[in-house]
Structure 1
C-alpha cells in the first residue's frame, strides 16, 4: 500500500520534470534556430553588400569627393558602403617640391605616356588601398562586390591597386589616369587579378594627363591579359563629367555577381 501511496506523487513529479525538460529543450531549440536565422541573415546581407573605394587626385581630399555617391541611385546600390580615403601630405616634384596631398610623387606635368614613374611610391600607396579592401572583405563582403575607382593620380593608383591585389575584384575604374609603372610590374600580377575588369575613361581635351597617356592603358592591359573597356570623351578636359559617372553606375551594375 505504501508503494501505491507514493506512486501518484512520483508519477506527477515525473510528468512535471518531463514537461520542464521539454520546455527547456524547445526553448534551447528556438534559441538555436533564432541564432541560425540571425547568422544566415547577416551572412546574406554581407553577400549582398557592395563596397566602393574612391581615390582622389593630386591636391584633393577624400571628403571633397563624397558627393559622388549621391549620384548612384539605382536599387543595386542600396547596400553599398563607400570609402573616400585621403592621401598623406608629400613633397611633389612637378609642383616644385611643394607639400600637398599626394598618393605618390609626380615628376612632370603634363603627364605623358612616357613620363618618369615613382614606382616605389606607388607600391607604398597600394599597400594603403589593399588594407582598406582587406578590412572590408574580412567583414564579410564578397571580393566580387568590391570596386576601386579613382581620378587622375587616384586613377593611376586604382589601376595599380587592382592589378596587384591577390584576388579577383568586382572591377576597377580609371578616370583621366595613367599607367604608373613599367612593364616589369607584370611579373607581380597574379592570375586572379587578371580576372578583374577595368573601365578606363579619358577626356580627349585633357591637358594635364594627356589623352595619349590614357590611350597607353588598354594596350598595356591587353599585354597583361586584363579585360579593359576604354571610353573617350570629346571636349572633356581634366575633370569628371556626370556622363562618365552615370556610365560608371551602369558598368558597376553589370559587373556585380548575378547580373545578367
Structure 2
C-alpha cells in the first residue's frame, strides 16, 4: 500500500456526511472531470454524502504513443486480454483501497462507502469491489470492462457477493464496445454477484437519463 494517499477533489452535499462515494475518472481525465456531476444528481437535502474524486497517477500510455497522462494503468493494445495492464491495475487497486481505509478511519462505515468508476476507473472499481474484504454499500461501473475476468472465480471475495453492482454502458460506445461491458456483467453474474445491466443510446459518455438512474441507485444503496 502506498505511503501517501492519492490526491482528490472533495464535494460534500451537506454537513456531517454519513456516506461516501469514491468515484474514479477515465483515461487522461482527472478528479475534476466528474466533480460537477454531484449537484446534477439532485440528492435529497436529508442525505449528506461525501464524494471523493481521486486523481490517477501520471504514467506513459502505450497506445497513445507513450504520452504521459493520468491513467490508472497502461493500455498496451486494444485486444481485450492485453488492454488492461494487470500490474498497473493492482497498484491502483491498492491506492484506492488506501482511500477506502482512510475514509473508514475518518468515521465512515464500510457499508456506507460506494466504489464508482467510469471507463478505466470502472475497471479499478470492479477489480477492488469484487475483492475487498469488507462489505461495502455498492459498486458502480460505467462504460467499462473487466480486467482478466478469468481470475474472478478464484479471487472474488464473498463479502460483496450480495452488494449491488450497477453496470451501465452506451450502445454506441466506440472506445469500450458495449460487448465488453456485457462480458464483465456476465462474469459478475456467473460468479454470484448481484449485478444489474443498463444500456443507453449514447457513446463513451454519460447521459441525462443515466445521471437520473445513478441518483436513484445511490439513494437506494445508501439509504
Same topology, TM > 0.5? yes
**Superposed CA RMSD:** 1.8
Partners of 1:148 and 1:58 lie apart in 2 by 17
Q: Which residue of 2 aligns with 1:245?
A: 211
Larger proportion of strand:
2
1:223 aligns with 2:185: no
Alignment CA distance shift 1:77-1:185 (3 Å): farther
Matches within 5 A, 1:50-69: 50-69=19-38
Q: What's the offset of the Cα at 1:184?
A: 2.1
Q: What's the offset of the Cα at 1:83?
A: 0.4
Runs of 4+ that moved beyond 3 A: 112-117
Alignment CA distance shift 1:154-1:175 (3 Å): same
User: Considering only CA atoms, is the larger Rg found in Structure 1 or Structure 2?
Assistant: 1
Q: What's the offset of the Cα at 1:250?
A: 0.3
Q: What's the offset of the Cα at 1:77?
A: 6.4
Q: What's the offset of the Cα at 1:246?
A: 1.1
| Equivalent of residue 125 in structure 2, options 153, 158, 175 | 158
Q: What's the offset of the Cα at 1:238?
A: 0.7
Q: Which residue of 2 aligns with 1:79?
A: 48
Alignment CA distance shift 1:165-1:126 (3 Å): same
The 3-state SS of whatever aligns with 1:65 is: coil
Q: Which residue of 2 aligns with 1:120?
A: 87
Partners of 1:139 and 1:117 lie apart in 2 by 32
Q: What's the offset of the Cα at 1:231?
A: 0.2
Per-residue CA deviations over 1:172-201 (Å, capped at 9, x if unaligned) read 111110001241243222210223221000
Partners of 2:96 and 2:215 lie apart in 1 by 21
The 3-state SS of whatever aligns with 1:63 is: coil
Structure 2 residues without counterparts, runs of 5 or longer? 1-14
The 3-state SS of whatever aligns with 2:147 is: coil
1:202 aligns with 2:169: yes
Structure 1 residues without counterparts, runs of 5 or longer? 1-44
Conservation of the 8 A alpha-carbon contact between 2:110 and 2:134: yes
Q: What's the offset of the Cα at 1:76?
A: 6.1
Conservation of the 8 A alpha-carbon contact between 1:113 and 1:212: no
The 3-state SS of whatever aligns with 1:82 is: strand
1:145 aligns with 2:145: no
Partners of 2:158 and 2:91 lie apart in 1 by 22
Larger proportion of helix:
1
Q: TM-score, normalised by structure 2?
A: 0.87
Partners of 1:65 and 1:115 lie apart in 2 by 27
Q: Which residue of 1 aligns with 2:9?
A: none
